[in-house]
Chains A and B, each alone.
Chain A
Amino acid sequence: MKTKYCKPVIILMTLTLLMVALCCSDNYLEEEPKTIFTTAYFEKPQGIEDAVYAAYAFMRYIYTPNASTALFHEGTDEWTYGEQPRNNSSGDNLQHKECGEYSLTSGNAAIPQIWNNSLPAINLCNGIIEFAPNTEGINENRKLELLGEAHFLRALYYFNLVTQYGGVPLDLGSGDLKLNTTPFFGFNRDNPAELLIKNYQAMIDDLIFASENLPTMKNPDNHRLTKAAALHMLAKVYVMRHYTPAAQSTDVQNAYDAAMKLIENQEMYGVALQQNFADIFKQGNEYNTEILYAVERIPGDNTNNMQTDPSGIGGLENHCSSNFTPNYQQPIGGLTLIDGRPLQYNRPLRKIAPTKWLTMTCFADKDNDSRYHATFRTLFRTASVNTPGTQAYDDYIQLLHDNGLEYGDTAWYLPDTQEEANAIFARGVKYFVVGPDNWYTNQDLTYMMHPALTKNNDSLRVAFNDAPGRPYPVCRLGETYLLAAEAAMLLNNNDKAAELINVIKRRAAYTPGATEQQVNERYAIIAVSAGDINLDFILDERSRELAGEWVRWSDLAVRGKLYERAIKYNPDVTGLIGETTGKYYIRPLPQSQIDAINDPDREKYQNPGY
């Protein structure tokens, strides 16, 4: 090669070698995505916070969409399926009916609601717990709080899974309580009984961690988790475990201790009972001291509430009140007294209705126990969804006048007793009166009307068919007293149990405007003594305090009282007759879960009987 051309050649080859060197450096083939996030995001301060936000947000799938209404309430002593599932048993109505009468199968569309939404949330919590310790640039206290939240939420997700489906895997593919990093086609549920033991221990460990690391003082403006909620849940999980084959001898004492720690240190935790029971649920008072933890939403903000289709009845819309609302729009003798669906009365979805036992037996005393009227709406006034000045509104006013009524007059009244109803009938009124004998049950279809659950009504929705958007209380101090009382009872300390229950009773006797004497008189009538205390009483009292609060089905199922009480008090549970054991005391696993398992013998993972 002549020297003249050596230079360019040398340059070329040097360049090439440089490029080779550049290309071969390790990171040439590394990916650095800019618009997608990987779990590496959780190692950043904002990332780990965002992960915790999502862990909270997923609770919205558990607490209060349509399908979970069925899983938490249908087929209990308190609740049966409503007019819609009765008359139109397809789509989501079928879910309600199958749960309500116990004909459900693994294909029931409500079944996946808790399963499908809890497991990814648990995996997320596992991830937070794994990543948070490595997160840099965040102070250690904050880290512990975040970890406390992740532990609490993981325990609560597990709690609902276990109480509904029995033992569930702690190992999602990468080991117990570990973030799953492998596409795992198996299902670590060979022995649900053993799993159940591990499940409860995991929940208890998580909640102990949470009760030690969450912030102490409850924030008056929100429902971020604090120690109070963790103690409450810890007491609850101990109580529940006591009734299961996983029970440990120390459970009752531990439950009592956890609950009492909270009850006795209320001030330190920034919590207290509301004076007036009705105030717990009053709109505008969402952040009251009694609520230890609520799944939050904001009224009227469908985007924040993740209600992409706010009038939908799918997986995410909150139907804590509309599902329980009877058809106040129905015409009687061709006359409809309420015009449309005024915001204050909810959207009448009619999926679920109270049993006669709940309204008439459990709440037999509607005068001295304020909780009946604080729980149910029995009076609907004439109202219109239309605005004054519109033709539709004027037509409605005209209609009222034609029937001798004014805007705001009574439209529907559901008296406390049949006698009262009869008396009103005898007197003759222009509004509709439905006495307890004719309240809707599947046994009586005269009026399709029943007292409407009002806890958590939201009258600040954007449109009348929108799902509500209020924080939904999951842990509240009222229940802590009941858990403490139950633990005391199980410790054979009925005196203490009665004492604790009477705190709740005294509060129930209170109504605003009542004199102290009146309250004392009422209290004297409803107060209990040690001799009254037994498990059935505790369950009755839980109904009075917690009716419609997303607890009842598992309350009964775990305590082994479902068969007895549902058969006794709910004539619609026909499928349960004779099924004293097995099948219906835990739910089937969703068929989609079973189908996806890579094991030819996959049916063995299903709960027995399904």
Chain B
Amino acid sequence: MRIYNYYYASYRRKKTKPTLIKVMKLALLLSMVTMLNISAMVTSHDKKLSILVDNVQLRNLFLEIENNSEYVFFFNTQDAQLDEKVSFSTRDEGIESILKALLLKTPLDYIMLEGNFVVIKSKAEMQQNVITGKVVDSEGRPLLGVNIIEKGTTNGTTTNENGDYSISVSSRDAVLVFSYIGYLSEEMQVGAQMIIDVSLIEDIELLQEIIVVGYGTMKKSDVTGAIVSVNEKSLNEVPSANLQLALQGKAAGLEIQRIGTAPGSDAHIRVRGDRSITGSNNPLFILDGIPFEGGSLNDIDQNAISSVEVLKDASATAIYGSRGANGVVLITTKRGKSGESSISYNSYYGIVKVARPYKMFDAEGYAAMRDAGTGSWGYMEQELESMKTGRSTNWQNLMYEDGYVTDHNLMALGGTEMTQFNIGGGYFKETSILPGQDFTRYSLRANVNTKVGKRINIGLNTLNSVNVANGIQFINEQPNTSGFSNTPFGGSIMFPILTLSPLMPAYDSDGNILIRPGGNSEDRENQYNPLLLKENTNEWVDRTRRLRTFNTLYAEVDLINGLKYKLNLGLDYRQQEFNQYQGRDSYFRTRDQSARARVNNGDGWGYTIENLLTYQNVFADKHNINVTALFSAQEDHVHNTLVGKEGITADFIEFYDLNQSDPEATLTLSGNESSWAILSYMLRINYNFNDRYLITLTGRADGSSRLAQKWHYYPAVSLGWNIHNEGFMKNLEILSIFKLRAGYGETSNQSVDPYSTLGGVSNYIGATAVRYNYGEQRVSGYYINKIPDRSLDWEYTRTVNAGLDFGLLKNRISGTVEFYYAKTRNILYNVTLPISSGISGQFLSNVGEMENKGFEFTISSVNIRSGSFTWSTDLNLFLNRNKILKLYRDIERDVQNQLHVGHPFNSIFDYEKIGIWQLNELDSAQAYRQLPGQLKIKDQNNDHRIIYGEDRKVIGSGEAKIQGGITNRFTYKGFDLSAVIYARFGGTLVSYLHQPTRGYVTIMDGRRNGLEVDYWTPENPTNWFTLPQEANDFKITPPNAATSWQTLGYYDASFVKVRSINFGYTVPQKYISKIRINALRIYFTAQNPFLLYAPYVTKWNGVDPEPTGTGTIGGVGQPDNLRISGNNPALVIGPSTPPTRSFLIGLNITL
């Protein structure tokens, strides 16, 4: 069906929807009244028509034919020639001969088009060049109202609701210009084509012309701060359990690193680097205007999000004052729209497979390694037998199984001018390749907005989710505590899978699981068979369940011209329960340990009240002013209770009734509470002159419960110059956007915990309870363990930012370049007070300084646009350089906390490995009390000794030299293909896997299997790994051998990863409209399909270059080369769930 804009057409199908069509239908109905009596006169059979009419207007005849046949007519309703009445009769005639006969005596002519379309035009018109075609978006959806103009003329038309158009052009040399708001304009040479189909590319810049800036929205062209925006479509390219992973590689300046491999794991998010030593460096998350406190982003269903904006510099974040320094991530959820209601269903299902198993020694390699080494542990009987028979066990293969991931999401949206709604619900589940690990989320949400009269707008937005994660705590040995402070039981599952001897059978001769296949030394005797985890699932529980309900109620009143008042009320409740159970004589508890369980139940709640006054006006056409004033109050509370008990009577009780246990057995109880409040006033003035000169002034005052000196003020100023709007630029067509921005401001982070300034008394000294007795009377004492500190203050960051936005070739290429420098002062640092102050232990004080500087580059381009094929690219590249400027007093380094003045916060301080001592270096090796086959460490001070205190230096840091992401999108007719690539270059990763006494996976002491590394033997003079030896064999290893072994775990962290490949097909409407579907897209996604580059994996046998956790995750001990505790532990790679790739098939349906 095609409709010329100047032809009204009849329309055959009954279920057309768009409103424009309705109008036409009405016109049609009216005209049909006159011909009701003859309607039966046209019949059709097998494309043959029978007609019998008498004195009927031509136009009515065409309509009648259309109603009774497959043909669709296009004609100009204004054409008086159609009013001519005709009488005509024929039987079983083809359409063309009918038309020929009918039109013979008229000045009209017809054209038959593909698909039973009939165009009726005057014969004169037919001489012109008529071009028809269809305009769609990149996903093949028709675009309504696209302007099509013959270049250099006023001749133009627009597309109908199906994206169809027809235009007569003056000649074959004409050029058609297709333009549409939010899309890049397209020009097409007519040439010999009769039909020109066009697919328009969304203009990211223009589409997001209005962006969310915190306490409001703003025209992108008016923005003066550093803000990056990620839209829904871009997020959906990486379907994942949570937002973080979808954002990875999508926004310049937003660094997202994985910190866990189990389903539902969180991620490590930094906006322009770290700036606090002891406090959190996480950005502030704002969900629909309300701070999203103390929780996991896992609570948010990705399907609910319509856009994410990241505010990066102080001029953008100063409106969040005391909480702005770490950057602000604004998450906006989907809203209702007026118009016809629609229901959409999005779903995918996929399988999860191990991408790369760990490369461990096989039976033969294991035996060779043991024989090569100095370890004195003998082989077990079964091992000797295996050596004879060639039996070998691949523990990884036994344990891994395919997982799956699935998501179902239902959304209804619609509304009228007065009321709009968007309601939906979702179900997400991901299971792991290890037994017992999974993550499930159930979510419900609603957004309803309605007008009350002309001036009041009220609405409610509610997001609710329940999620259940299993198996995270045991696997990672680290809790996903999210504000609840008690450490759960640990227990590494991966470790035995990797280190059990491949010579040991997994099953005994009767086919039963060999319970303790540990081995030849005391500490391995109690290593239970990990297969028990798979088989005896009733013996353990490891569950985290969270509930969250996040609600916002708002009301907006239009007061007088441009002045609005808005009230925002946020109410947030979250509850989290950790449940653990470990049965007796099970994988987790040896024979002499009783069953134990614990329940850690915590909840948090808070409210936010925001009062906003906004004023917007334009004076004298050129002075645009926009003022936002805020008063807000927020409170938040968390509380948790932990109960733990040993001696649980039976497995089936799990954690449900701890009283069903041995009354004498150990009982653990603890609780914690924390509350805070913040009051804020904010004023922001945006002024722009003639869309050219922009200025934003921001001031915020925050009063916080956490400080003794409660109130602080945050100023910021930023300027912008839309150079492209200047007269002298008007003629420079190549530059469509050219804008300079600069900003300066001060913000802080809330790095002081509640109650920090109060001082404190305690009845514990470390783990020792302060007790005393008077004879038999036992008492518990309280002493002063924290000094009140009225001077404790925030950490302030001053940022200077300069940015350039550009658009070239009518924004076919657009991008942004940003430079910034941020200096944080007053950094809180634990200093040791002289004990003569009467307080033992460390004391938090505002003493340090740190800087971050960097560069960010974003570019979007449409590379190819040819007919229905397009290729576009989004690229972002960024780098951040962090440096500690000052710690405390004149301290240059604090080794214990891994802080080094003049180096990045995440630097690594250790020996420098230069190789392995070789046989021909015997003399030099002995001078260092070493032997060939042992580590050659650089003698930093050249004193011919390797001393722990003297020969270590900063040997690297986790900071990437440059990182970024690239997304390529291709469309061809209904097909779309996109690929998201994420890359980091430079930096050093810390691999516990390769640190013999950290991960114990490369210890090679003859007691356990290990990662297949190239170790030194007299016959194999490698420079990678040492001769296999026991950790504390001082006969052959030098003092501190175990600490110098850490140097085996530092590798280049660079990688290039394909995060996802998406291939979709949008089914053309003509196939689906019959089954009452408006839109249908089917797609296939491969997640993490390839590693394009990763020396750690390809050269050094690692499995994945991304971190698996923080601190001691999957490792042991207190490595003093790393910061392992506090808010900012180092990111490390430990023996964790191996990397997976998943293959999804999905579908989006809109009804």
> Which A positions have Cβ atoms within 8 angstroms of B?
1-2, 4-5, 8-9, 12-13, 15-16, 19-20, 23-24, 28-39, 41-42, 47, 49-58, 60, 112, 115-116, 119-124, 126-127, 168-169, 172-173, 179-189, 219, 221-224, 287, 296-298, 301, 303-306, 308, 316, 590, 592-593, 595-598, 600
Contacts and interface: CB of A to CB of B under 8 A. Distances in A.
A184 B761 contact: no
Contacts of B782: 37, 41-42, 47, 50-51, 53-54
B834 A597 contact: yes
A4 B59 CA distance: 52
Nearest to A124: B783
B761 A39 contact: yes
Interface in B821-851: 831-840, 843, 845
A127 to B, nearest CB: 6
Given A9-B456, A57-B770, A16 B567 contact: yes
Interface in B730-773: 754-755, 758-763, 765, 767-773
Those 4 A-B pairs whose CB atoms lie nearest each other, nearest first: A123-B838, A54-B781, A53-B781, A222-B775
Contact of B768 (A15, A116, A184, A316): A316
A38 B758 contact: yes
B772 A222 contact: no
Contacts of A303: 769, 771
Contact of B834 (A24, A31, A596): A596
B837 A172 contact: yes
A136 to B, nearest CB: 18
A213 B788 CA distance: 31
Given A29-B703, A306-B769, A223 B774 contact: yes
Contacts of A57: 770-772, 781
Interface in B619-640: 631, 633, 639
Interface stretch (B203-211, B297-305, B673-681): B673-681
Nearest to B840: A120
29 contacts: A1-B455, A5-B454, A9-B456, A12-B567, A28-B677, A31-B675, A31-B706, A33-B758, A38-B760, A49-B779, A50-B763, A54-B770, A55-B781, A55-B783, A58-B783, A60-B772, A112-B835, A119-B835, A119-B838, A120-B784, A124-B783, A172-B837, A179-B838, A182-B789, A183-B787, A184-B837, A185-B834, A306-B768, A306-B769
B761 A38 contact: yes
B705 A31 contact: yes
Contact of A31 (B557, B754, B778, B789): B754
A588 to B, nearest CB: 14
A23 B452 contact: no
Counting chain B CB atoms within 10 Å of each CB, the highest count among A52, A55, A119, A597 belongs to A119
Contact of B783 (A15, A51, A595): A51
Interface in B575-614: 609, 611
Contact of B781 (A13, A51, A221): A51
Given A33-B758, A53-B779, 12 more contacts: A5-B454, A31-B755, A36-B758, A50-B763, A51-B761, A54-B770, A124-B783, A183-B787, A184-B836, A187-B836, A222-B774, A298-B773
A308 B775 contact: no
Nearest to A38: B758
B777 interface: yes
A221 B456 contact: no
B833 A596 contact: yes
Nearest to B767: A308
Given A33-B673, A172-B836, A53 B772 contact: yes
Contacts of A181: 759, 787-788
* Number of chain B interface residues as a range: 35 or more
Given A29-B677, A33-B754, A184 B783 contact: no
Nearest to B774: A222
A177 B760 CA distance: 19
Nearest to A594: B834
Counting chain A CB atoms within 10 Å of each CB, the highest count among B555, B765, B779, B782 belongs to B782
A13 B631 CA distance: 13
A9 B557 contact: yes
Give chain B's interface secondary structure class: strand
A169 B836 contact: yes
A127 B784 contact: yes
Counting chain A CB atoms within 10 Å of each CB, the highest count among B452, B565, B758, B836 belongs to B836
Contact of B839 (A29, A52, A123, A301): A123
A298 B777 CA distance: 10
Given A20-B611, A53-B780, A122 B838 contact: yes
A296 B755 contact: no
B453 interface: yes
A116 B215 CA distance: 52
Nearest to A126: B838
B704 interface: yes
A224 B609 CA distance: 55
B776 interface: yes
B770 A39 contact: no
Contact of A593 (B565, B675, B763, B835): B835
Contacts of B755: 31, 33, 36, 38
B768 A308 contact: yes
Interface string B555-571: 10100000001010000
A288 to B, nearest CB: 12
B453 A4 contact: yes
Counting chain B CB atoms within 10 Å of each CB, the highest count among A50, A53, A304 belongs to A53
Contacts of B953: none
Contact of B788 (A15, A38, A224, A296): A38
A123 B452 CA distance: 65
Given A33-B754, A51-B781, A593 B836 contact: yes
Contacts of B1040: none
A35 B673 contact: yes
Contact of B762 (A37, A42, A58): A37
Interface string B654-690: 0000000000000000011101111100000000000
B672 A35 contact: yes
B872 to A, nearest CB: 46
Given A12-B555, A16-B567, A596-B833, A56 B772 contact: yes
A258 B782 CA distance: 32
A123 B833 CA distance: 14
B784 A185 contact: no
Contacts of B780: 50, 53
A188 B567 CA distance: 56
Counting chain A CB atoms within 10 Å of each CB, the highest count among B639, B835, B840 belongs to B835
A306 B677 contact: no
Contacts of A35: 671-673
